[in-house]
A and B are shown apart, each in its own frame.
Chain A
């Protein structure tokens, strides 16, 4: 069973002057095994959407199907704990949530809380830390002493240590430098391709979506505006422009060249291909 939303709405503070409909009759299906980007402007409802995936938020209308579970509005959800073991949610700036004395203890907290023995929890924690590139020399250090990028890796390891089938990350690269961003995205790609985890990433960074994600879901005003493959979505700049986000550099460059009269064909998807095309064009005219 995939992940699906059937006519899901989420209304915050219903019946008060602050009532706010963050999700508005959403129908959505997310395929397992893919790496999917959830994009949209601040306030569009994308964080609300992903928080339904591990029942941190419950639909106020409609039904959410996750793996083999059903979460209905107005019904008390069952098996919440096992669901949260299956769907790992990493919040924005997760490094602010580190609290244990040592890196190892912090990472082992999740599995321990889910009933693992201390030994088993630490074993899982070590595996997760290795995946995120935090070496044994850090195990006994206080997480608070680490750099921002390292802290974030520890926080993500804490979720991976629970070995979730679905990993949901809310803006995992915000505030990282370009090198940190690239290595983080490569990690998610690896988790997706080698460990076959379903990965959902909420992000504003179209460069990363273009490079690493298979699918794009656009949330706008609490509704799903688009859902398509990344290749289809980035065919040209118009969907990005419509959403008010900056398209990836390659798409922007192609669009700018077209504006200046170059007949850049569709289907050029790497810088290498574009350079080859330009060289050919120069030769033909020469």
Chain B
């Protein structure tokens, strides 16, 4: 089922330079899509357009078959949640509980229902123990998990992560990636993640690689990373296993294109045992 359709979308911050230049794509419900691209390629702008935080210059965005426009903006926004990069800029409440409650209060959810909802989503992101903690006592990863819970509590259909792991330490990154993976396994949500993390990209269903406001490559991670020249031309890196695979080929060992280390080592094992 089609969830998002973008047609000929254009956007400029200043006249004459298009940050998004005639972009079209379609995303199905329940998909986990990653958007990659170097800094300045337009990927965060794309996320803000999808979330209705910026208004397109031309072209259209259809969410569940409805075209996003000024009249239905606030209605459609309810179906989309977004988690930003900086964990400190999105913590509003004085405790974890208050922070998750913030959106619910804005939507006038009765107090009796609210506690149950808060606990449900705190549990989903593994923050039940911290419901009464203040933000100063939380790590970056924990704050981001609270941000995710707050967004999930609004029951969105689409969840956008705008470089949500890039300011976190390795442990925090791993925590958020685990939450994303678990949400994806439930298949209820369409997930769009803007990321530089190639290991995360390898786990996604579909990849949009952006460059200069356009989509330079699209497809499954395997399809996208098979275009070595384009990947390099748009200043992205090949997955580590692919890079090693190419070195192996140079020395006469031909392996398939692997996106993960496990895949590569697996094939090397087979080669080894055959001999």
Q: Which residues of A contact B (CB under 8 A)?
A: 41-43, 93, 147-149, 174-180, 204, 244-246, 249, 252-253, 256-257, 260-262, 271-272, 274-276, 278-279, 281-283, 285-286
Contact = CB atoms under 8 A, between A and B. Distances in A.
A40 to B, nearest CB: 10
B196 A177 contact: yes
Interface stretch (B122-130, B180-188, B261-269): B261-269
Closest 10 CB pairs of A and B: A285-B275, A279-B251, A275-B247, A179-B235, A249-B240, A175-B166, A42-B169, A178-B237, A177-B39, A177-B38
What band does the interface of chain B fall in when counting residues whose beta carbon is under 8 Å from A? 35 or more
B139 interface: yes
Contact of B243 (A204, A271, A276, A285): A271
B247 A180 contact: no
B6 interface: no
Interface string B237-268: 10010011001101111000000011011101
Nearest to A276: B251
Decide if the interface of chain A is mainly helix, strand, loop or mixed: helix
B236 interface: yes
Contacts of B140: 42
Contacts of B250: 275
A184 to B, nearest CB: 12
Contacts of B98: none
A177 B39 CA distance: 6
26 contacts: A42-B171, A147-B39, A174-B166, A174-B167, A177-B38, A177-B196, A178-B236, A179-B235, A179-B237, A180-B39, A204-B169, A204-B170, A244-B171, A253-B244, A257-B268, A260-B268, A262-B272, A274-B244, A275-B250, A276-B251, A281-B272, A282-B252, A282-B253, A283-B252, A285-B272, A286-B275
Nearest to B43: A177
Given A275-B247, A279-B252, A253 B261 contact: yes
Contacts of A249: 240, 261
Interface in B222-240: 235-237, 240
A262 B275 CA distance: 13
B133 to A, nearest CB: 15
A276 B252 CA distance: 9
A147 B40 contact: yes
A178 B195 CA distance: 11
B163 interface: yes
Contact of B247 (A42, A149, A261, A272): A272
B248 A278 contact: yes
B157 interface: no
A278 B243 CA distance: 14
A262 B271 CA distance: 12
